[in-house]
Amino acid sequence: MPGRRISSVLALGVLVLAGATPAAAHPGHHPTPPTTATKQPVATGSGGAVVSDTLESTQAGLAVLRRGGTAADAAVAVAATLGVTDPFVAGIGGGGYFTYYDARTRRVSTIDGRETTPAADTSTMFVDPSTGQPYSFATAVTSGRSVGVPGTLATWQRALQRFGRFGLADDLRPAIDVAARGFTVDATFREQVRENAGRFAQFAPTAELFLPGGGLPAVGSTLRNPDLAATYRQLARQGTSALYGGSIGRDVVAAVQHPPVAAGSTSTPLTGPMTLADLRDYRAIDRTPTHVGYRGYDVYGMGPSSSGGITVGESLNILQNFRLSPTDRTAALQDYLEASRLAFADRNRYVGDSASVSVPQRALLSRSFARQRACLIDPTKAGVSPVAPGDPTRGANGCTPRRADTSPGNDGISTNHLVVSDRWGNVVSYTNTIEELGGSGIVVPGRGFLLNNELTDFNFAPTQGSAPDPNLPAPGKRPRSSMSPTIVLQHGRPFLAVGSPGGASIITTVLQILVNRIDLRLSLPDAIAAPRASQRNSATTQVEPAFLADPAVPTLESYGQKFAVTSTSPLDPSITIAPTIGVASGLEFRPHGRVIAAGEPTRRGGSAAGVVVPSRHR
Ligand code: GLU
């Protein structure tokens, strides 16, 4: 389904933890008042770094790093805390993709923790049998039908098994503490409830948790989530089997099969067929990352079931055929918009869950196919969307693009990769989500967390004309994602770790940050803060209002480029939303163990960046 905005991204780094201070007593046993520190979008230093959406989650990660946890341990602590403080975009009711650079092996690994479709679902699960037409997006989202089998806990378990020093119980402690003692509601949290108030009111446990006294939570009030604290404690005692077959799982299944509608509500949400067997069968999957060489860097991303790595990678391969320079910003933007327009056509035609459909990944990421596509780019004319997909079996198809870049490529420099870092130099880049802002709207009764609506990322009906659609629902299948947790290496060492939420605009946000940093030579904080434009093979390019002030825009419009701002909710056009694209975070690794941790200065309330040992100078 078309682009939405929602998931949390975290990037963590620790380079030199020597001298790290040992942890104080485990905080969960001694609740302390909510913190009064404020968020900072940028931090520079060494010894480890964290960027995430909220102050409490960043502090949780830094605390684990100081205790000697690895980047994977800290990532789990951050993600679990986000489930408390950023519950509309994160949590154990969802899924995501975890990428990791292992300093010892110098390899990048990825874990696919995407939600799966229950075994009893079918290809027509989103078709209304009474009309033969697909359900509306809003109907499908707020329902048990859209809930995929959650993958987040299995992802944490797998990441800790492979890369952690501590266990799940240790890494959940900071989140348990925040859930028990509470945190201060800020304007961003309240705004996210406002955008969802109508549908949250439909479900008794959701209204009870997020609509205190029937209204929006007040800015400055303390929100506690004792149910989630108890859920995390149970997971700490019993392990992830408490969800994947145990009593937490039984409660999830009950909520999906019989959504807990509030007394007096007239809504009759669609139910879902998830069973305890679906939960027992769930597996987070180790995947080989995607890899392309770009201007001397090695860019690693997430393969199917996400389309992120392939689409970012194909776009970069196309752009590699051109010179992109800060001295000709108009040409750079034209190439950026056209590369993503073409890559999205190929994504939509060829990419789905590779366990269910055959994805020509190698061909889509080949340099020769990128030449075939680059040949279609006119330097002074916008493509007419929808542009047709290319044929990846035909390679360059005898074509040489204009303005060919003569700088050397670096295919095959390395097949090792990853993202997050600790005293050992490991790096994590991890995007996790419950899909729409507020997921399905269903809090599991007595458990304190929202269930995802990830299955709405499937196409509800075929989209590719007479060609097969790779992203139709099927039992056990994972819906195609756009999540693009990315790690960039230079000479085998980490250079960047970046990612963003934003549905399909995740891909263009990551691509634009890479182009801003590598080609247009902005600093990482500036590359993230810059106004965004997202072209996804549609007639108009979605932009942020500030992008329209770019001096290149009039010329791009004379080429036929059309720009539009989106400021209404995909669920209800009467609800206004901020006209922003993505909420990015990233790390840049500098010489001598220095790391620049950068997030958003303002989008969705800004990010919280922190380092273990701050440096005096940026
Ligand atoms: N469901 C989206 C995806 O997997 C991510 C959620 C979002 O950021 O909108 O592509």
> pLDDT, tens digit, for every residue of 180-204?
999 999 999 999 999 999 999 999 9
pLDDT at 26 over 50: no
Q: How confident is the model at residue 416 (pLDDT cuts 50, 70, 90)?
A: very low
Q: For residue 3, report the distance from its CA to the centre of ligand 1, in Å.
A: 8
Return the ligand 1 atom nearest residue 307 CA. 10
Give per-residue pLDDT as tens, 350-389: 999 999 999 999 999 999 999 999 999 999 999 999 999 9
Q: Cα of 507 to ligand 1 centre, how many Å?
A: 10
Instruction: Determine whether the shortest distance from the Cβ of 53 to ligand 1 is under 6 A.
Output: no
Asked if residue 427 has pLDDT above 70, the reply is: yes
Whether residue 403 has pLDDT greater than 60: no
Single-letter amino acid code for the residue at 164: G
At residue 405, does pLDDT exceed 60?
no
Best of 483, 509, 577 to mutate for ligand 1, by most ligand atoms within 8 A of CB?
A: 483
pLDDT (mean) for 316-345: 96
Nearest CA to ligand 1 atom 2: 503
Q: What is the pLDDT of residue 424?
A: 85
433 lines ligand 1 (CB under 6 A): yes
How much distance in Å is there from the Cα of 426 to the middle of ligand 1? 26
pLDDT at 411 over 80: no
Binding residues: 114, 457, 481-482, 503
Ligand 1 atom closest to the CA of 501, numbered from 1: 8
Provide CB contacts within 8 A for 240, sequence distance 6+: 153, 154, 156, 157, 168
251-262 core/surface letters (b: 16 or more CB in 10 A; e: else): bbbebbeebbeb
Pocket test for ligand 1, best of 458, 471, 481, 580 (most atoms within 8 A of CB): 481
Overall average pLDDT of the 25-51 stretch? 69
The whole-angstrom distance between residue 10's C-alpha and the CA centroid of its chain comes to: 9
- What integer pLDDT is reported at residue 13 of this predicted model? 53
pLDDT grade for 572, boundaries at 50, 70 and 90: confident
- The residue-averaged pLDDT of 407-414 equals 30
Domains of the chain: 42-288+418-614 (3.60.20.40), 290-375 (1.10.246.130)
High-pLDDT (> 90) share of the chain, % = 84
Which protein residue's CA is at the shortest distance from atom 5 of ligand 1?
503
171 or 11, higher pLDDT: 171
User: Do 110 and 72 form a contact (C-beta atoms < 8 A)?
Assistant: no
State residue 10's pLDDT score: 65
Q: What was the pLDDT predicted at 408?
A: 36
* Nearest-atom index, ligand 1, CA of 482: 10
The mean pLDDT value of the chain amounts to 90
Report the pLDDT value the prediction gives residue 345, as an integer from 0 to 100: 97
Taking the whole predicted model, whether its pTM rises above 0.95 is answered as no
What percent of the chain has pLDDT above 70? 91
Encoding tokens for residue 509? 């946000």
Closest ligand 1 atom, residue 502 Cα? 8
Q: What is the pLDDT of residue 15?
A: 34
Spatial CA neighbour of 512 closest among 492, 498, 491, 494: 498
C-beta of 65 in contact with ligand 1 (< 6 A): no
Q: How many helices (H) and strands (E) does the chain have?
A: 17, 18
pLDDT at 11: 63
The pLDDT of residue 571 is 82
Ligand 1 contacts CB of residue 482 (under 6 A): yes
Q: How far apart are CA 151 and CA 354, in angstroms?
A: 17
For ligand 1, whether the C-beta of 4 sits within 6 Å is: yes
Are 524 and 44 contacting, i.e. CB atoms less than 8 angstroms apart? no
Mean pLDDT for 202-229 is 97
Indicate the pLDDT class of residue 520, thresholds 50, 70 and 90.
Answer: very high
CA of 579 to the centre of ligand 1 (A): 17
Kindly indicate the confidence band of residue 421, based on its pLDDT and cuts at 50, 70 and 90: low
CB of 571 closer than 6 angstroms to any ligand 1 atom = no
Q: Does the pLDDT of residue 436 top 80, yes or no?
A: yes
Catalytic residues: 415
Question: With a 6 A CB cut-off, is 503 part of the ligand 1 pocket?
Answer: yes
| Whether the Cβ atoms of residue 166 and residue 69 lie closer than 8 Å to each other | yes
Q: At residue 434, does pLDDT exceed 70?
A: yes
Ligand 1 proximity of 7 Cβ (cutoff 6 Å): yes
**Residue 151 confidence (pLDDT) above 60:** yes
pLDDT at residue 574 tops 70:
yes
- Rounded distance, CA 377 to CA 364, Å? 17
483 Cβ closer than 6 Å to some ligand 1 atom: yes
Q: What's the full length of the chain, in residues?
A: 618
- Between the CA of 442 and the centroid of ligand 1 the distance, in Å, is 18
Mean pLDDT, rounded, for 289-313: 97
Please determine, for residue 34, whether its predicted confidence score (pLDDT) is greater than 70: no
Separation of alpha carbons 404 and 321, rounded Å: 5
The answer on pLDDT for 5 being more than 90 is: no
Of 82, 506, 604, best ligand 1 pocket probe by most atoms within 8 Å of the beta carbon = 506
Ramachandran quadrant class, 412 (left: phi over 0; alpha: psi -120 to 50; beta: rest): left
With cut-offs at 50, 70 and 90, classify the pLDDT of residue 12: low
Q: Put the strands of the sheet holding 541-543 in their side by side order.
A: 533-534, 541-543, 563-564
pLDDT digits 0-9 by tens, 593-608: 999 999 999 999 999 9
The tokens describing 600, both together, are 């958003």
Digit-coded pLDDT (tens) for 548-561: 999 999 999 999 99
- pLDDT for the residue 400: 77
Label residue 401 by pLDDT band (50, 70, 90).
Answer: confident
21: burial class by Cβ within 10 Å (0-12, 13-18, 19+)?
exposed
Mean pLDDT of 478-505: 95
Once rounded to an integer, what is the mean pLDDT over residues 89-102? 95
